[in-house]
């Protein structure tokens, strides 16, 4: 069933034309991810679909009585309401059903109205609405229902807006970066929620694992045109590469044809036959095709890093508590050259506090942090760039000098540097407040790298960046010779960049020797064993006792020996993660651990089955 039909729409802002003559449809059950470079009109297109703006040309047709939910970067909540009041005051159709039912209870004489209201409650499972919204809020770490919206952080407000939309369950969800401000556990929960639901949505996100695992159709907005790929993110990458190669082949053919036709045109044939006139008319189209060019400029990152000394950063028995809550205690660590550390943990677990202590912007409660003399921090914060009102882009960079030193004694002008960060000469004289979210992030990254740090700290660097820019940043960081700390909810980014993790959990910092996917395998192996044992115990309690045959008794004894041996192997492998392993060894051990866990699960299930028959 078609939900939305977009027909020949165009959108411009002043002289900037974002796109024109776009046409596509959104059908029920489609989970669409939109991919595009920053500044190409992603957010503008979302606002058009959500009816928050109108196209300059064309029309967008909607199915009759369609309900659309829009998650934007601005929350739009009433600051004076509490979390619970925000949900109950939302335009949620289930709340209307509940209200109708409560009114029917007040009029017992109208049995027909009561029966309709009762049936509506059943049909929409409205009886469990309160339990449902409490569960969703709990998953999004919004447990205090009495807390006022005005006291919430920006991330909490975004999560509350998301919760309200999920509870409303509209016919079509329009989502602008839904994973921003969610920690890793929340993202994985939302991923599972969307995979299992029958929701239809049109989404912009930079989270490539999310696109891979949730979406069944990828749309790319590229140079003002829409391309659709029925599949996940991996399929899109494959087909996009094929499309670009085909474009290059067709352009080369057009160039050869253009040369031959140009020679014919230069001969200026006097006889204007119908055939020659048609050929002259076709020449303009051939010329246009031959001169087509893909605008495939990518950001260029380069720094002149100061050499690191032998002493980098040392933590000695560092502890920190906040409002009576211990964030970490007696933490000892010496950073080595070239370290690439990822930091993970729930919101409020102390990640930002740790980084502020590391950069000596905050004092620890106990212990000390010793920083090497040659160390130069580059700290990219979530709060973003702060500039004076009325400042232009070029002025922000010129504060660091008209010429910026690069590696091997080279220099580059401020204008040339901005061009490398995809700010053309016209854009360089725009006011900073006019920049899009992604452009602001690029400018901020430029101001960090221009200072030539040898210890980079990146706190959520991929927020608001397009996928192409993230790929460039990844390639730069892979070759970065200094120390690197990354805090990110982008699992793909973390897996590619970091070698080990600092895990913030239960007031402790644990050093895990692997990337995020390795850590999830390790965690799931422990969780699955506990769940299997608990389930098996319940099975024993509920089932009636039965007798074992001789062969079953023998099998039971062998199973006990096998399980014990497997548990020992599992323990040995888990301990190996605490030693200094190479990335290949970590991957191999992670796979072995998963295989052992699967075998333990199978044999444990069979053991409990036999044990229950004794």
Structure confidence by residue, pLDDT tens digits, 3-17: 999 999 999 887 778
Residue 254 sits in the same domain as residue 333: no
> Per-residue pLDDT averaged across 438-466, rounded?
87
pLDDT in tens, 214-230: 999 999 988 788 899 99
Residue 494 in contact with residue 350, Cβ under 8 Å?
no
Q: Is the pLDDT of residue 477 over 70?
A: yes
Maximum average pLDDT range among 68-72, 112-116, 402-406: 68-72
> Per-residue pLDDT averaged across 172-201, rounded?
90
CA distance 250 to 257: 11
Task: Work out how many domains the chain is built from and give that number.
Answer: 4
Domain endpoint, select from 512, 540, 562? 512
Residue 245 sits in the same domain as residue 214: no
Give the mean pLDDT of the chain.
83
Residue 115 structure tokens? 């029966």
pLDDT at 545: 45
Q: Is residue 578 part of a domain?
A: yes
Domain endpoint, select from 213, 232, 251? 232
What SS3 state is found at 74? coil
> Per-residue pLDDT averaged across 173-199, rounded?
89
Give 336 or 181, the one with higher predicted confidence: 336
The pTM score is 0.67
Q: Is residue 265 part of a domain?
A: yes
Residue 165 in contact with residue 86, Cβ under 8 Å?
no
CA distance 320 to 346: 17
pLDDT in tens, 359-394: 999 999 999 999 998 899 999 988 878 888 889 999
Q: How confident is the model at residue 84 (pLDDT cuts 50, 70, 90)?
A: confident
Residue 57 sits in the same domain as residue 8: yes
Q: Is residue 301 part of a domain?
A: no
Q: Is residue 26 part of a domain?
A: yes
Residue 368 structure tokens? 């000390």
Residue 343 sits in the same domain as residue 374: yes
Give 209 or 309, the one with higher predicted confidence: 209
pLDDT at 201: 94
CA distance 514 to 501: 7
Residue 414 structure tokens? 């401020």
- Can you point out the beta strands (E) in 272-396? 313-322, 325-334, 340-345, 366-371, 377-380
Question: Any idea how long the chain is?
Answer: 614
Q: How confident is the model at residue 278 (pLDDT cuts 50, 70, 90)?
A: low
Label the pairing between strands 31-36 and 217-222.
parallel
> Per-residue pLDDT averaged across 335-356, rounded?
91
Which has the closest alpha carbon to 290: 253, 261, 339? 253
Burial class of residue 291 (count of CB atoms within 10 Å of its CB; 0-12, 13-18, 19+): exposed
Domain endpoint, select from 209, 232, 255? 232
Of the given ranges (152-156, 229-233, 492-496), which has the lowest mean pLDDT? 152-156
> Per-residue pLDDT averaged across 436-460, rounded?
87
What SS3 state is found at 452? coil
Q: Is the pLDDT of residue 405 over 50?
A: yes
CA distance 84 to 263: 75
Q: Is residue 300 part of a domain?
A: no
CA distance 261 to 476: 45
Residue 543 sits in the same domain as residue 504: no
Residue 386 sits in the same domain as residue 364: yes
Q: Is residue 218 part of a domain?
A: yes
Residue 138 sits in the same domain as residue 243: no
Q: How many CB atoms lie within 10 A of CB 114?
A: 17
Cα dihedral angle (521, 522, 523, 527), rounded to 10 degrees?
90
> Per-residue pLDDT averaged across 42-64, rounded?
93
Residue 204 in contact with residue 186, Cβ under 8 Å?
no
Q: How confident is the model at residue 509 (pLDDT cuts 50, 70, 90)?
A: very high
Q: How confident is the model at residue 575 (pLDDT cuts 50, 70, 90)?
A: confident
Residue 89 in contact with residue 164, Cβ under 8 Å?
no
User: Vertex 145, ends 210 and 133: CA angle to 5°?
Assistant: 50
Residue 347 sits in the same domain as residue 472: yes
| 523 contact partners, CB below 8 Å, separation of at least 6 | none
Q: How confident is the model at residue 274 (pLDDT cuts 50, 70, 90)?
A: low
Q: Is residue 296 part of a domain?
A: no
Q: How confident is the model at residue 173 (pLDDT cuts 50, 70, 90)?
A: very high
Residue 496 sits in the same domain as residue 529: no
Buried-state track 306-319, b at ≥16 Cβ within 10 A, e below 16: eebeeebbebeebe
What SS3 state is found at 557? helix
| 248 contact partners, CB below 8 Å, separation of at least 6 | 294
Extract long-range pairs of 61-67: CB within 8 Å, 24+ residues apart: 61/4, 61/5, 61/7, 62/3, 62/4, 63/1, 63/2, 63/3, 63/4, 63/171, 66/3, 66/4, 66/171, 66/172, 67/93, 67/168, 67/170, 67/171, 67/172
- How far the first Cα of the chain sits from its last, in Å, is 56
Expressed as residue numbers, the domain containing 183 is 2-232
CA distance 215 to 194: 9
Q: Is the pLDDT of residue 528 over 70?
A: no
What angle in degrees, to the nearest 10, is found between the helix axes of 111-123 and 93-105? 150
CA distance 406 to 450: 9
3-state helix, strand, coil in the chain (%, to 5): 45, 20, 30
Cα dihedral angle (170, 174, 179, 185), rounded to 10 degrees?
20
Extract long-range pairs of 562-569: CB within 8 Å, 24+ residues apart: 562/603, 563/600, 563/603, 563/604, 563/607, 566/596, 566/599, 566/600, 566/603, 567/600, 569/596
Residue 342 in contact with residue 520, Cβ under 8 Å?
no
Q: Is residue 302 part of a domain?
A: no
In this structure, what CATH number is given to the domain that contains residue 406? Answer: 3.40.50.300
Q: How confident is the model at residue 433 (pLDDT cuts 50, 70, 90)?
A: confident
Give 285 or 550, the one with higher predicted confidence: 285
Residue 394 sits in the same domain as residue 354: yes
Label the pairing between strands 172-176 and 68-71.
parallel
Q: Is the pLDDT of residue 325 over 80?
A: yes
Place of tokens 């008209």: 402
pLDDT in tens, 536-548: 555 444 444 445 6
CA distance 249 to 160: 49
pLDDT at 438: 81
Q: How confident is the model at residue 276 (pLDDT cuts 50, 70, 90)?
A: low
Q: Is the pLDDT of residue 476 over 90?
A: no
Residue 332 sits in the same domain as residue 278: no
pLDDT in tens, 138-169: 888 888 888 999 998 888 888 899 998 998 88
Element at 35 (helix H, strand E) = strand 31-36
Residue 489 sits in the same domain as residue 521: no
pLDDT at 604: 85
Q: How many CB atoms lie within 10 A of CB 237?
A: 17
């Amino acid at each position: 069933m078609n939900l939305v039909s977009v027909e020949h729409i165009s959108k411009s802002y002043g002289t900037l034309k974002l796109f024109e003559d776009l046409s596509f449809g959104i059908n029920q059950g489609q989970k669409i991810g939109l991919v595009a470079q920053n500044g190409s009109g992603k957010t503008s297109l979302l606002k058009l679909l959500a009816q928050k703006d109108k196209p300059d040309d064309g029309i967008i047709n909607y199915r009759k009585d369609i309900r659309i939910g829009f998650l934007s970067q601005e929350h739009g909540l009433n600051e004076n309401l509490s979390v619970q009041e925000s949900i109950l005051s939302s335009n949620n159709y289930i709340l209307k059903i509940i209200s109708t039912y409560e009114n029917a209870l007040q009029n017992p004489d109208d049995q027909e109205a009561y029966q309709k209201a009762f049936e509506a409650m059943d049909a929409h499972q409205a009886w469990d609405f309160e339990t449902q919204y409490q569960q969703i809020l709990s998953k999004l770490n919004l447990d205090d229902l009495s807390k006022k919206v005005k006291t919430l952080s920006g991330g909490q407000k975004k999560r509350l807006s998301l919760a309200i939309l999920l509870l409303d369950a509209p016919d079509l969800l329009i989502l602008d970066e839904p994973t921003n401000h969610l920690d890793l556990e929340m993202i994985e929960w939302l991923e599972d929620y969307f995979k299992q639901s029958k929701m239809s949505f049109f989404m912009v996100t930079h989270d490539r694992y999310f696109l891979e695992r949730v979406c069944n159709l990828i749309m790319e907005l590229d140079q003002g045109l829409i391309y659709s790929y029925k599949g996940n993110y991996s399929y899109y990458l494959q087909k996009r590469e094929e499309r670009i190669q085909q474009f290059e082949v067709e352009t080369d053919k057009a160039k050869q044809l253009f040369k031959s036709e140009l020679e014919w045109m230069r001969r200026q044939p006097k006889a204007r036959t119908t055939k020659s006139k048609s050929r002259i008319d076709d020449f303009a189209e051939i010329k246009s095709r031959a001169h087509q060019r893909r605008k495939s400029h990518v950001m260029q990152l380069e720094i002149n890093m100061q050499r690191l000394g032998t002493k980098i950063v040392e933590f000695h028995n560092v502890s920190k508590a906040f409002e009576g809550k211990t964030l970490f205690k007696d933490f000892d660590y010496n950073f080595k050259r070239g370290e690439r550390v990822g930091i993970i943990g729930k919101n409020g677990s102390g990640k930002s506090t740790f980084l502020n202590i590391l950069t000596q912007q905050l004092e620890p409660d106990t212990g000390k942090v010793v920083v090497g003399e040659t160390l130069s921090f580059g700290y990219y914060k979530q709060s973003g760039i702060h500039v004076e009102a009325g400042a232009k882009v070029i002025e922000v960079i010129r504060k660091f000098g008209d010429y910026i030193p690069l590696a091997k004694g080279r220099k580059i002008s401020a204008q040339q540097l901005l061009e490398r960060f995809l700010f053309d000469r016209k854009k360089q004289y725009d006011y900073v407040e006019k920049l899009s979210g992604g452009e602001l992030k690029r400018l901020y990254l430029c101001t960090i790298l221009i200072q030539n740090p040898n210890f980079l700290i990146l706190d959520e660097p991929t927020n608001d960046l397009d996928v192409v820019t993230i790929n460039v940043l990844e390639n730069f960081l892979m070759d970065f010779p200094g120390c690197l700390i990354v805090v990110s909810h982008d699992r793909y980014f973390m897996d590619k960049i970091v070698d080990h993790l600092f895990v913030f959990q239960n007031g402790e910092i644990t050093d895990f020797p692997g990337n995020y996917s390795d850590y999830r395998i390790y965690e799931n192996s422990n969780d699955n064993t506990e769940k299997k044992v608990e389930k098996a115990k319940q099975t024993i309690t509920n089932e009636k006792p039965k007798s074992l045959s001789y062969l079953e008794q023998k099998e039971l004894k062998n199973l006990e020996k096998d399980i014990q041996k497997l548990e020992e192997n599992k323990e040995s492998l888990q301990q190996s993660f605490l030693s200094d392993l190479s990335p290949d060894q970590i991957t191999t051990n992670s796979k072995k651990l998963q295989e052992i866990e699967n075998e333990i699960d199978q044999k444990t299930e069979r053991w409990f089955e036999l044990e229950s028959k004794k």
